[in-house]
Amino acid sequence: MKKLAFLGAAALLAAGCASMQQPSGEELSRLPVVRFGDPVPAAGEYILFFPADKPIPTNVAIKGNIFSREAEQRLEVTLHRDIYVYKEWISHDRVNWRNGRQAIKSDFQIMIPGYRHPEPGLIKIQMDEQG
């Protein structure tokens, strides 16, 4: 079994190198808010907004020249409440910000059928909000 740390949409919520210095509320209030799925500014910083109940798609593919039949599927999840993301910081209200690595416990598992795992394959992303 191979486990990898996963944070952010894979990239879903809070990717990037961790900076422990939280940006000021004034600095964040000046940034544009971009809804997930909309184009992001070509230059400059922004806050990415994941609205509650709006689908967040993830493409999953199993491909390669060993297969006679490959597979691709688009999976969608929805959040139960809004999340705003600025680099590695997340917020539910754009006022109170937390480090995403501390706010969301994330785990990614991939298990490929084989000698050590003679069962169906597994691709699993687990994300749980902390305190």
What is the pLDDT tens value at each position of the chain, 131 positions in all? 333 333 344 334 444 444 568 888 888 999 999 999 999 999 889 999 999 999 999 999 999 999 999 999 999 999 999 999 999 999 999 999 999 999 999 999 999 999 999 999 999 999 999 97
Confidence (pLDDT) at 20: 64
In terms of C-beta density within 10 A (0-12 exposed, 13-18 middle, 19 or more buried), how is residue 68 classed? exposed
Confidence (pLDDT) at 17: 43
Confidence (pLDDT) at 25: 84
